[in-house]
Amino acid sequence: MNKAPMLLQARGIKKDFFGNVVLKDINFTLEKGQIMGLVGENGAGKSTLMKILFGMKDITETGGYQGDIILDGEKVHFETPFDALAAGIGMVHQEFSLLPDFSSTENIQLNRESVNYNVTSEIFGERLNTLNKKEMRKKAVEAINKLGVDLSPEMVVSEMPVGHKQFTEISRELSREKMKLLILDEPTAVLTEKEAETLLKTMRKLADSGISIIFITHRLGEIMEVCDKILVMRDGCIISELEKDKTNVREITKAMVGREVKGISENKRENSDAPEIMNISHLWVNMPGEIVRDVNLSVKKGEILGIGGLAGQGKLGIPNGIMGLYQAGGKVIFDGKEIQLNDAKLCLKEGLAFVSEDRRGVGLLLDESLEWNVSFTAMQAQDKYLKKYFNGLIKWRDQKAIEEVTQKYIDELQIKCTSSKQKAKELSGGNQQKICLAKAFALEPRLLMVSEPTRGIDVGAKALVLEALKKYNQEAGTTIIMVSSELEELRTTCDRIAIITDGKVAGILPAHTSSEEFGYLMVGAKDMVKEGEK
C-alpha cells in the first residue's frame, strides 16, 4: 500500500516558560488523513505543543519556541492563530473560546468572519447587523449537521450546558473551508458517552476526506477506537510512538505514567442507619439543558451519595440549583435548617461547598496565585486564614496559614506547579481541576458537592482524586454529593447512587448494584430493576 503524503512534521521543538522547560525535543510526523492520538499525564506538555502549532499568544508572549514546523513541505512559524487558520489549521481548545452573549449560529459564523481573534462583543454586535443572518444560519446548520448532533442554532452560549458549548466550538471549526489539520484538545471531556461516540464517528469521516487530526484525550478507549497512531508524552518528551493495531490501553497507560496503574479501591460501606443531614423536596432548577423538575432526596450524614444519569436529564442542575448558581425553588433542609435558595454566599456560610463542572467559568480566579485561589472563598465567606486585630475590627491575611494550607493540598493531590505562588492560568487543565478541589477542601464544609470531579484528569491521577475524596469523607466526616456522568467512577466511590431522568429521581440503589440495573433506571425501565429502593 502506498504511504499517504505527509502533512506535518515537527523537528526538535523546545519550549520553556521563564526557564521552566516544558517541551524538550519533540519530533513527529503526521500524514494526510491520519488521526494521531496525543496522550500523557496532566502537565506532560500536550496543550503547550498544540498551542505552538496554532500560534497562540501564550507562546509568542513568553519568548516563542525553538525548532521547526513543516506544513505541506514548507517551513512555517505562526505568530497568531490567524496565521494558523489561514494555513488551514483549526483548533478546539480545552477552554471555550466562545462569545457568551451570542447564539451558536453567531459563534460558528463570526469567528471565521472576524479579523481579530480577541475582538470584543461590541464590535461583533455592530458587525452582526451588517451580516446576512439567514445565510449565516444556513451555514451554521450545515456545520451542525456535519457533526450530527442535536444543537439549537438559536441558543445563546451563556445559557448552554457545557456539552452544547463544546459542539458549538467544533461546529465552528467544521464550518471553515480548506481545513487541512484539526487539533482537538480534550473535546470529549465535557461530552457524554453517546455524544462522544457521535464526535468520534465524525472524526473518522473527516479523516477519510483527507483532513488530518491531532486528538488529545484522557479517555484511552477513544484513542483505541479512532486513532491510527498514538504519541505518548511524559515530562515534556515523547516517550513512545505506537501504532494503534499493535498496542493496547494497558501498554499506553504504562508508557504514560511509567508504571502499572492501580485501580480504585471499592467502597463497600452500608450505613443505612445514619441520620439524615439534608432533605431535598420538590426541588426545581431552571438550568438550561439540565432542567430539574421535581427532585426529592434524603441525604444521610457521612455518606457519599452519587448522582448519575444521562446528559440533559437534570443531574447537573441539582447542585447548581442548591448552591444558587441557577434559579431554583422547592425546599432544602440542611441539618434541621431550611436553606435559603438562590443565594450562593449564604450556602457557603451554612457549611456547604461546591466544585462546579465548569472549571474555568465559576471555578477559578485565573490571574491569581494558587494560594489566593485555594484560600479566597474561605476568607470571604468564613473569615478563615485571616488574622484579627482590635477585637476583629481589622482583619489581615494570615500569609503563613495560607501558604501552609495551599502546600498541604499541592502535596496531597500531587498538583504539578512551580510553587504555591504560581498563577492558576499557568497550570495544565488537569492540575487546575485539582486546585478547584483544594479550594473546596479548604472551606472544610459540612457537606461538599462535586460535579464531574475527574474531568480532564489523567488515568493515573484519577484514582488519586477519587481516593482523596474518600479520604476526606472518612477523615473529616464530611458528607459528599458527587455528580458524575461516569457510572463506574460513581460505583467505586459512592455508598448509594441516585439516577436522575427527566428532572426527577428515577431510583436510588446501593453503589455495588450491577451497572445493568443502573442502566435500566437511566433509560426509564424502572420495572426491570431487581434490588434497592427504586
Ligand X SMILES: Nc1ncnc2c1ncn2[C@@H]1O[C@H](COP(=O)(O)OP(=O)(O)OP(=O)(O)O)[C@@H](O)[C@H]1O
3-state DSSP of 128-166: HHHCCHHHHHHHHHHHHHHHCCCCCCCCEHHHCCHHHHH
Residue among 47, 105, 166, 451 that touches ligand X (CB under 6 A): 47
The gap from C-alpha 68 to its chain's centroid, in whole angstroms, comes to: 31
Shortest spacing between CB 94 and ligand X, in angstroms: 6
3-state DSSP of 355-395: ECCCHHHHHCCCCCEHHHHHHHHHHHHHCCCEEEECCCCEE
Give just the sign of the alpha carbon dihedral 371, 372, 378, 382: positive
Contact between 207 and 151 under an 8 Å Cβ cutoff? The reply is no
88 binds ligand X (CB under 6 A): no
427 binds ligand X (CB under 6 A): yes
Please, which residue, 47 or 478, has the CB nearer to ligand X?
Answer: 47
Question: x/- binding map, residues 478-507, to ligand X, per CB under 6 A?
Answer: ------------------------------
131 binds ligand X (CB under 6 A): no
Number of residues near ligand X (by CB under 6 A):
20
Burial of 445-460, coded b for 16+ CB within 10 Å and e otherwise, reads: bbbbbbbbbbbbbbbb
Q: Please name the amino acid found at residue 223.
A: I
Residue among 90, 314, 363, 429 that touches ligand X (CB under 6 A): 429
Question: x/- binding map, residues 4-23, to ligand X, per CB under 6 A?
Answer: -------------x----x-
Site for ligand X in 58-77 (CB under 6 A): 58, 62
Write phi, then psi, for 59 (nearest 5 degrees).
-90, -50
45 binds ligand X (CB under 6 A): yes
48 binds ligand X (CB under 6 A): yes
Please, which residue, 424 or 498, has the CB nearer to ligand X?
Answer: 424
* Alpha-carbon gap, residue 306 to 506, rounded angstroms: 13
Please, which residue, 40 or 312, has the CB nearer to ligand X?
Answer: 40
Q: Is 519 exposed, middle or buried (0-12, 13-18, 19+ CB in 10 A)?
A: middle
In order of 79, 212, 227, 405, the CA distances from 39 in angstroms are: 26, 17, 11, 31
Question: x/- binding map, residues 454-473, to ligand X, per CB under 6 A?
Answer: ----x---------------
Residue among 11, 416, 512, 534 that touches ligand X (CB under 6 A): 416
Shortest spacing between CB 179 and ligand X, in angstroms: 22
175 binds ligand X (CB under 6 A): no
Shortest spacing between CB 229 and ligand X, in angstroms: 18
**What are the residues binding ligand X (CB under 6 A)?**
17, 22, 40, 42-48, 58, 62, 416, 426-431, 458
